[in-house]
Amino acid sequence: MAKRAKKDTWVEIYKIVLEKGERAPQVPNDTQQVPLEMKVKGFLVQDAAVGKEAEIITPAGRRIKGRLLEINPAYTHMFGRPIPELSPIAGEIRAILRERRNAS
């Protein structure tokens, strides 16, 4: 059974703003082939199930309807692993400065 969320829970909803046939004429081909999609977060107006129609009130006070995507969605952007192509730069630059200071 789909997960349900209570009224007033912080959630994210999803909807399609423009279907692929409705895209602006100046949009390049690859973008024409996909819809314009939207995600917005807010507090649920009524209890709702994930994947079903839901209504939210956003922090700006707007009411928006869409498909309930996620309950209390996480921020998942991160630093990730160090980049091996960047890691040696510190040592290289310090060596250039050291050499210059030793020479003078």
Partner 1 sequence: MSTDSYKAIMDQKAEIMRSSVGINYEKYTTGVLSFDYEAMLNDTGYDLDATRDIQGRSAVGDTPLVELKNLTELVRAVSEPGKGARLFVKDEAANPSGSFKDRRASLSAFEAKKKGYKGIAAATSGNYGAAVASQAAKAGLGCIIVQEAFDSKKIAQPEIAEKTRACEAYGAEVVRLSVGPELFYYFLIILKETGYFNASLYTPYSILGIETLGYELAMQVKAREGRFPDVVVATHAGGGNVTGTTRGLIKAGAADTLMVAASVDLSGLHMASDRDFNRKSFTTGHTGFSVPFSTWPDRVDVPRNAARSLRYMDRFVTVTQGEVFYMTEALAVIEGMERGPAGNTSLAAAFAIAREMDREQIIIVQETEYTGAGKHPLGQLNLAKQMGIDVRRGDPRENQPGKAIVIPEHPSQIKPVEMDLDRIRRSYLRNALDSLPEGEKATEKDLEFLAADTKSTQDYVRDVVNELIRTRFLGGKV
By CB under 8 A, name the binding residues for partner 1: 17-18, 22-24, 26-28, 30-31, 33-42, 58-62, 75-83, 85-86, 89-90, 92-94, 96-97, 99-100
> C-beta of 71: minimal distance to partner 1 in Å?
16
> C-beta of 79: minimal distance to partner 1 in Å?
4
Per-residue 3-state assignment (H helix, E strand, C coil) for the chain: CCCEECCCCEEEEEEEEECHHHCCCCCCHHHHCCCEEEEEEEEECCCEECCCEEEEECCCCCEEEEEEEEECCCCCCCCCCCCCCCCCHHHHHHHHHHHHHHHC
Q: Which is nearer to partner 1, 1 or 61 (CB)?
A: 61
> C-beta of 69: minimal distance to partner 1 in Å?
10
